[in-house]
């Protein structure tokens, strides 16, 4: 993703070697106001901690485009369903701060880029000051709902998830007042929800989408990968393998939904067949939640892909708990007893020289660019 031109200006005073950690809203707002009065830009990366290279990629992009980068670390309870994994979600604040310190050291001497200058670690009492946050679908509270985007795909399986995401992001955007906010392409539906919220509520910030960071075998980096362990981790690549099979079909000229998605189902059926044939102490079973082939502008399902516009291909699987463990086996956090939901996506698009020769129509926003 290309950096925006001429957006880093000389800040007043020497570049800080490290960042400040803020736990309370007024103190962070005071620092933000100082940057605003000085005409210095702020990029914001909201996270729930358990930082990995995917998060760091967002921060690296923000550093290239802003004088200051603020990072929030807050596990938001309202985006977890009643029976979901809030209590066991990894909370690694000390390790996260050390990762950020190491990243800050990389940019300290480079005056051509910005710097991480604030880390925000609010409490739930600060973020939800009036009522105790609820995960009930009809629970009380002040929420932001973005429909129908929030009720399809991930929202169909997790009905309060995007309500919680939109609500906490609205709160964080109001607190930080960022010039730019940064999200990863891996959570593609989330990026559409956030962009819609920014547009519909006239929020004065620009949404930047950074490409998915992957392991060498293609697995998208996620904070939840720590739950997989070695056995489920190897099988989890079935999702990206299925998506890539669809992309190959598309590049070979296939455009109809049924024909494209059949390639994904073929990959998962073959892998599930292999796993089912293994004894319980060796296998890793999973369930497919959905495969989606959607319009890149509105995220509505397509019956056929227009090659000039392309499509957003996404999917979700649930890695089931390990049935029987082996002695000294690495089962990940939770000893393999909990299901692990994995999501991923790819943009289906033809090479630009082919697309341009077929049509002069706009193909919609690229996921790796600003929406």
**Alpha carbon distance 191, 209 (integer Å):** 7
Cα angle 65-93-106, degrees, rounded to a multiple of 5: 40
Tokens 């800050």 belong to 104
Q: Which of 55, 202, 265, 298 is labelled catalytic?
A: 55
Give CA 224 to chain center in angstroms: 12
Active site annotation includes 202: no
- Name the packing angle between helices 53-65 and 93-107 (round to 10°): 40
Q: Dihedral of CA 178/370/289/156: which sign? A: positive
Contact 65, 3 (CB under 8 A): yes
* Catalytic residue list: 55
């Amino acid at each position: 993703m290309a950096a925006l031109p001429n957006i880093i200006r000389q800040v007043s005073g020497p570049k800080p070697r490290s960042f400040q950690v803020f736990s309370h809203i007024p103190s962070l707002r005071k620092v933000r106001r100082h940057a605003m009065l000085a005409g210095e830009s702020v990029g914001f990366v909201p996270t729930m901690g358990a930082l990995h290279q995917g998060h760091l990629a967002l921060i690296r992009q923000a550093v290239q485009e802003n004088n200051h980068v603020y990072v929030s670390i807050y596990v938001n309870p309202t985006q977890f369903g009643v029976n979901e994994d809030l209590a066991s979600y990894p909370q690694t604040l000390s390790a996260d701060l050390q990762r950020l310190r190491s990243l800050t050291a990389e940019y300290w001497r480079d005056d051509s880029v910005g710097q991480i200058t604030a880390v925000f670690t609010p409490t739930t009492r600060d973020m939800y000051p009036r009522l105790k946050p609820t995960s009930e679908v009809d629970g009380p509270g002040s929420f932001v709902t973005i429909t129908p985007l929030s009720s399809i795909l991930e929202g169909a399986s997790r009905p309060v998830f995007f309500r919680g995401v939109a609500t906490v992001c609205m709160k964080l955007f109001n607190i930080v007042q960022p010039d730019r906010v940064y999200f990863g392409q891996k959570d593609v539906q989330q990026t559409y929800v956030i962009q819609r919220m920014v547009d519909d509520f006239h929020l004065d910030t620009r949404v930047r989408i950074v490409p998915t960071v992957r392991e060498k075998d293609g697995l998208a980096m996620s904070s939840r990968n720590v739950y997989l362990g070695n056995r489920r981790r190897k099988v989890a690549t079935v999702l990206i393998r299925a998506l890539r099979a669809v992309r190959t079909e598309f590049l070979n000229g296939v455009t109809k939904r049924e024909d494209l998605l059949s390639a994904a189902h073929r990959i998962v059926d073959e892998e599930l067949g292999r796993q089912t044939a293994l004894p319980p102490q060796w296998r890793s079973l999973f369930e497919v939640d959905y495969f989606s082939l959607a319009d890149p502008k509105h995220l509505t399902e397509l019956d056929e892909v227009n090659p000039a516009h392309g499509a957003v291909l996404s999917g979700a699987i649930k890695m089931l708990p390990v049935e029987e463990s082996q002695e000294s086996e690495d089962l990940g956090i939770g000893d393999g007893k909990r299901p692990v939901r994995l999501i991923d996506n790819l943009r289906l698009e033809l090479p630009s020289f082919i697309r341009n020769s077929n049509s002069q129509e706009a193909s919609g926003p690229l996921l790796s660019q600003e929406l």
